[in-house]
Amino acid sequence: MRKKVAVIGAGLSGLACAAILARRGFDVCVYEHSHQPGGSSGAFKRGNAIFDVGSAMMFGFGSHGFNPHSLLLNEIEEHIAVIEHSSMYRIHFAGQEVVFHADVESFLDALARLFPSDIDDIRRFYAYLQHLYDDLVMKDPSLISPSEIPLGEMTARFFKDPPTQMRLLPLLFSNVASILRRFTKSQAVMQFFDKLTSTYCYTTMAETPAIMAVTMFVENHRSGSYYIHGSSQVYVGRLEKAIEKHGGSLQYGCEVVGLEPDARRIRAARLADGTRIEADYFVYSGTVWNLYQKLLPNDAVPQAHVRKMAAMVPTPSSIVLYATVAKEAFPHDIGPIEMLVEDTCTLAESEITLYIPTVDDPSLNEPGFHSVIAIGPSFRQWPSPEQCASGDPAVREAYEAAKREEEERIISYLTSYFPNFRKSLKFWEIGSPTTIERYTLKLRGAVAGPKQMFGQDLMRRPHAATRWNNLFMCGESTTMGTGTPAVVVSALSAADVILRREGLPECRYFKDRGYVRYLTSPAPPYAQEGLKARGNLCLWCEEDICRHACPAAMDIRGIFRRLYCDNLEGARRLVRHDESGRLVCLSCHDKPCLKACRRKTVLGAPVPIPGVLEEIGPTAGGN
């Protein structure tokens, strides 16, 4: 009998863990409160434009180095195409520009123009970090959280190479600033690298363990940065496909509101509608705050532990401007990622990262327009989603006014860098911290869970294994927690602990089997054809009125989103047929789905739903 695994949350970590376990033969079901997978690694549509929710620059897809995304896709045998950046991003730093070339020597040459008198010190700093990377970190490139490595294995590693392990230990107890000060006394250089540190892990150098400098300042150059062809929704769609292909399932619009523990195990999870979910294993992929303050009963956990988890300091709240902008608003050499920094001393609201994925993949918007995602910190006091939904007109009015003010601030700020920005706007929308929390359940819209700062860093964060022997955690709150590569490592770690419990081989080391295809940037238009193009016709509306209009209550939105992600079999399973095997649409004369389709109002014509459903045909075994 297959062991049953209930995964709570269909963000990137939950999907990755579920896909691995489904591939290894477990009976997996994912429960997600939203209407589609991905969380902050998903995407949404506005008209013809596709916008990534948050994850728009992806590390960890290379063929060399620390590449958990590549490992995952090769392990679950799912193909994906990624567009490789020649440079990671460009930073506009106090009136000067530095291009972060993927090649570290080219990057150092760029820094030489910014810090001509300090470049020799910076080169020595990078040489030291590269030495640590090659001789220490990559000696055993195991893609598992250190907290989940068995004690016997850790001991064997130490005695196999004691000098290497002893050289690593000081990096766990010193900060990045102390390492950099060995090489330079320049305050300007310290400020610059402080900004780089906050870019990668949302902490200052003084807050960040030195060991993280190796991955921040070396690994990203070694393995490169990428954009997923078709948006981040394609990636999470591939994970959804793998889960379904191996017999797993995903239930959307299902919010888990409680866990039922006894002294040693979780007996069941409880949904908002009262349904109890029983399983052999539970994997929780949300935030530490939601787990310990909402899902677990107060008397199930020692109060000291609850207070410790509640006191974890979150990363800053984020605010996002999503916009469709005419290409004329930007210079011809605009990059896919532009970071704007004016305050060189502290994290300020003017620190905005501009993602323009249509530089890499023009298929994400209509010809002549860019999809723009501008993300920055927000220090306002924003209401919770519950407060906004309370019906209090004063709360709602103040919230909408705050959104308008932030909208104007960000647009004015971007126009100061790109003078034609405001007049080139075709569409724009603000995603406030309240919005982010509503859709992703991230506390106050925190961009990356708890900070990776001393006191709550690395091994001091929650581990994959919990005090209950069948409850595991993955995601940004755990030992490996900042950025999509670390999030996937946390997912692999949770899966590995379960595999270990069942005596099955673990998934730790990357073997390139060709499942990641590398495209060159700048990319050609990538004209979409066939069923993928049909899937792109749908607007993936949050409220699927087409499903409510359909007499058979068919999940039309889910079908078309799966087609866009090349999950044909998953789409076919959702198509409804009558007892004779005939498509139910053929006997539906009024076609209410076409009358309800929002695309008709937005773009002038509905999605040709019946025709596409007839085109994709039945499942291999009939439906």
Residue 468 identity (one-letter amino acid)? W
Radius of gyration over every alpha carbon of the chain, rounded to an integer in angstroms: 24
pLDDT on residue 525: 58
> pLDDT per residue over 271-319, tens digit each?
999 999 999 999 999 999 999 999 999 899 999 999 999 999 999 999 9
pLDDT on residue 611: 94
Q: Cis omega (within 30 of 0) on the bond before 37?
A: no
Query: What's the sign of the alpha-carbon dihedral 598, 240, 202, 102?
Result: negative
Local mean pLDDT, 10-residue blocks, the chain (623 residues): 94 98 98 96 95 91 87 96 89 87 91 94 95 81 87 83 79 90 94 87 90 84 90 97 97 96 96 97 96 94 92 94 98 93 83 93 93 95 94 95 97 96 97 96 91 88 95 93 89 97 92 90 64 93 95 96 96 92 90 96 95 80 46
Nearest CA among 5, 62, 38, 25 for reference residue 510: 62
E strand or H helix at 609: helix 609-616
Strand partners, 50: 45
Measure the CA angle with vertex 60, ends 323 and 194; round to 5°. Answer: 70
- Report the distance separating Cα 331 and Cα 145, nearest Å: 42
> pLDDT per residue over 451-482, tens digit each?
989 889 888 899 999 999 999 999 999 987 77
Nearest CA among 399, 401, 279 for reference residue 31: 279
> pLDDT per residue over 105-119, tens digit each?
999 999 999 999 999
Strand partners, 430: 321
Q: State how beta strands 471-473 and 281-284 pair.
A: parallel
pLDDT on residue 313: 94
CB neighbour list of residue 69: distance below 8 Å, 6 or more residues apart: 58, 60, 61, 235, 484, 485, 488, 516
Q: Helices 12-23 and 483-501 sit at what angle, rounded to 10 degrees?
A: 40
Q: State how beta strands 80-84 and 225-228 pair.
A: antiparallel
530-616: CATH, from 1.10.1050.10, 2.40.128.20, 1.10.3720.10, 1.10.1060.10:
1.10.1060.10
pLDDT on residue 619: 58
- Report the distance separating Cα 570 and Cα 244, nearest Å: 7
Measure the CA angle with vertex 373, ends 367 and 378; round to 5°. Answer: 160
Whether the Cβ atoms of residue 53 and residue 439 lie closer than 8 Å to each other: yes
Q: What is the DSSP string of 368-434?
A: TEEEEEEEEE--S-PPPHHHHTT--HHHHHHHHHHHHHHHHHHHHHHHHHSTTTGGGEEEEEEE-HH
Whether the Cβ atoms of residue 79 and residue 73 lie closer than 8 Å to each other: yes
User: Which token pair is 187?
Assistant: 């305050």
Q: What is the pTM of this model?
A: 0.95
User: Which token pair is 48?
Assistant: 């013809």
Nearest CA among 411, 436, 400, 477 for reference residue 318: 436
CB neighbour list of residue 276: distance below 8 Å, 6 or more residues apart: 260, 268, 269, 270
pLDDT on residue 94: 76
Start and end residues for every CATH 3.50.50.60 domain found in the chain:
4-43+58-82+229-312+447-501
Residue 135: φ, ψ to 5°: -95, -15
Whether the Cβ atoms of residue 297 and residue 502 lie closer than 8 Å to each other: no
Q: Cis omega (within 30 of 0) on the bond before 522?
A: yes
> pLDDT per residue over 345-401, tens digit each?
778 888 899 999 999 999 999 999 999 999 999 999 999 999 999 999 999 999 999
- Report the distance separating Cα 613 and Cα 602, nearest Å: 22
User: Which token pair is 388?
Assistant: 């906004």
- Report the distance separating Cα 488 and Cα 145, nearest Å: 10
Whether the Cβ atoms of residue 148 and residue 490 lie closer than 8 Å to each other: no
CB atoms < 10 A from the CB of 38, how many? 28
Residue 408 identity (one-letter amino acid)? E
Reduced to 3 states, what is the DSSP secondary structure of residue 446?
strand
Domain at 4-43+58-82+229-312+447-501, CATH homologous superfamily = FAD/NAD(P)-binding domain (3.50.50.60)
Place of tokens 């039945």: 618
Start and end residues for every CATH 1.10.1060.10 domain found in the chain:
530-616
CB neighbour list of residue 519: distance below 8 Å, 6 or more residues apart: 81, 82, 83, 84, 229
**Maximum C-alpha span of the chain:** 80
Question: What is the distance of C-alpha 477 from the center of its chain?
Answer: 13
Measure the CA angle with vertex 463, ends 281 and 178; round to 5°. Answer: 160
pLDDT on residue 138: 79
Residue 181 identity (one-letter amino acid)? R
Q: What is the DSSP string of 259-314?
A: EEE-SS-EEEEEETTS-EE--SEEEE-S-HHHIIIIIS-GGGS-HHHHHHHHTPPB
Place of tokens 């990319």: 523
- Report the distance separating Cα 508 and Cα 67, nearest Å: 11
E strand or H helix at 519: strand 516-520
